[in-house]
Amino acid sequence: MITRKEQKEFLDEAANYLKKANIVVTQKEIDSIEIADYGLSELKVHGLAILVYVNTDRVCAKELIMLPTQTCPQHRHPPVGPPHAETDEPGKEETFRCRWGKVWLYEEGDATPNPKCKAPAGSEAYYTVWNEIELNPGEQYTLLSNRWHWFQSGPEGAVVSEFSTKSRDELDEFTDPNTKRETVIKD
């Protein structure tokens, strides 16, 4: 749960970050940006602003905007079948491309010694994959489907493009059972 004021402040910042990243968007797109707190009610710790360019049955493209040292909680995109997809298909595959700032992505694989990020305080138990990929502007990484992953922005925040198969956020699986994909706004 976040307040309308928190939502508005992040929306304004997200528009500023897109300007700093020199990404041209329409006013309609600005107005469509989603602020997500993952149901954890600590927006500056766990959170993300999401601008969806396109999300058809086959292709999705987005910009993800993160404030300084903000975390997208550990999750994965499981295989999908009817009624969510016409036929069985693997979970969402996504390529993250850093456009501005810096982001560290963690996924399954050998744990990186001395990782650059810490799990958010109090949620350590839910951060179990530590294979670190550092992404600076112009760098990208392709994450295959159904792999646990999470990411955290650097000290200035980040703008990250995501190129993927269809987004079905409601089907994401999170490690932390307190996590909810829907953000409740408190008036």
Which 128-187 positions form the footprint of its own copies (CB under 8 A)? 137-140, 142, 161, 163-165
* Interaction of residue 58 with its own copies, rule CB under 8 A: yes
Distance of CA 72 to the CA centre of its chain: 5
> Could you give the maximum distance between any two Cα atoms of the chain, in Å?
44
Q: What phi, psi does 171 have (nearest 5°)?
A: -100, 0
Task: Tell me: does residue 59 bind its own copies (CB under 8 A).
Answer: yes
Q: Given the rule CB under 8 A, which of 2-10, 32-40, 90-98, 124-132 is the region that contacts its own copies?
A: 90-98
CB-nearer residue toward its own copies: 24 or 125: 24
| Residues contacting its own copies: total by CB under 8 A | 29
The DSSP bridge pattern shows strands 2-3 and 185-186 to be: parallel
100 vs 84: CA distance, rounded Å: 34
Q: Which of 13, 34, 42, 93 is close enough to bind its own copies by CB under 8 A?
A: 93
Residue (40 or 143) nearer to its own copies, CB:
143
Report CA-CA distances (Å) from 176 to 16, 23, 120, 121, 122: 31, 33, 12, 13, 11
Chain residues in the site for its own copies (CB under 8 A): 21-22, 24-26, 29, 53-54, 56, 58-61, 90, 93-95, 97, 99-100, 137-140, 142, 161, 163-165
